[in-house]
Amino acid sequence: MSIFRLQRPESCNCLKKFNSKVLSLELFRVVKEEFDSNGARRLLEKVVPISGDVSLENLGIIESRVREELWRNVNIFVHSAATTKFDERYDVALGINAMGSMHVQHFARKCSKLEMLLHVSTAYIHGMRDGLIPEQPIHMGETLPGAKISYLDINMEKKIVEEKLRELQALNATQKEITTVMKDLGIQRAKLHGWPNTYAFTKAMGEMMILEEMKGKDYKLIIVRPTIITSTYREPFPGWIEGLRTLDALFAVYGKGKLTFFLADPQSILDLIPGDMVVNAMVAAIAKHSKDEPSLDFVIYHGSLSRLGLNYNYSAP
């Protein structure tokens, strides 16, 4: 058994990058401590790095030999690639979060042994709402309450981005200017359709496309919608975190005393969930539904700690 891991292409060798930047992470310390050097090496060799990009057709995998191997051997497909910046450039977020999901679906259904596709979405695709929110799919073209437009046309969104980029290039805009315009465009288009930010907006598009492409297929679809993912609770050890995403930067500067206050409703739920709990839920969902009949269309799981009642007032010292 092998785990094929798609990673962004860079100038350096894919395997070399994986060994130097991924396996050297503190995250794998437990594996190296629990097994002798040969055992750890054999275990980690089961993870096969592949250079690619979800924003491109065929996931940007150039070598036909590699594509054929994946189509021949992969039986469970996990799609968690995303940009999580709330104000990401609209062209980037659209390419990764929305079109990337469609490209994953197109690639996955070519796998002759495919049994299941697990898509990691977000609990915030339904936007800002009060009260209980039904755990239901979001349908193609759906907009949210308060939207200034009644239908979301993803193809039109692509055209708007392409036209704006051509316009900026014609004006000889700098990369900094293009980035600013694209970020502003993402927020504008999100709010026009009822979403608060570019991240939630494009993740909603991605889920729409996954569900639309799923129609008539004979494999299972699992959608996992976590809230704000943070450091690990227990596995492989408490407190592991890599990089600064979502609220991580806020915690870092607050913990160092650089940020003495910030605006928030004291009673608002601080809905955080440890990364290992999300992964455990994903693995459990795969195990549970691996024996289901293929006729099962899809299952949606929400990952949240909101019932614990942790709010901003409690989090303050």
Tokens matching residue 243: 């990089």
Tokens matching residue 281: 């839920």
Tokens matching residue 96: 């990764």
Q: Is 55 helix (H, G, I), strand (E, B) or coil?
A: coil
Spell out a b/e string for 10-29, using b for 16 or more CB atoms within 10 Å of the CB, else e. eeeebeebbeeebbeeebbe
Gyration radius of the chain over CA positions: 21
User: Which residue type occupies 14?
Assistant: C
**Choosing from 90, 183, 203, 220, which is the catalytic residue?**
203
Least Cα distance to 197 among 90, 314, 63, 292 occurs for 90
User: Rounded to an integer, what distance in angstroms lies between the CA atom of residue 83 and that of residue 68?
Assistant: 28
**Choosing from 199, 219, 220, 301, which is the catalytic residue?**
199
Q: Is the dihedral of CA 100, 105, 108, 114 positive or negative?
A: positive
Residue 3 sits at φ, ψ, to 5 deg, of -115, 115
User: Which residue type occupies 315?
Assistant: S
113 catalytic? Reply is: no
CA distance to 57, 217, 218, 284, 300, per residue, from 210 (Å): 15, 11, 14, 21, 13
203 catalytic? Reply is: yes
User: Rounded to an integer, what distance in angstroms lies between the CA atom of residue 194 and that of residue 288?
Assistant: 35
User: Rounded to an integer, what distance in angstroms lies between the CA atom of residue 77 and that of residue 228?
Assistant: 23
Q: Provide the annotated active-site residues.
A: 199, 203
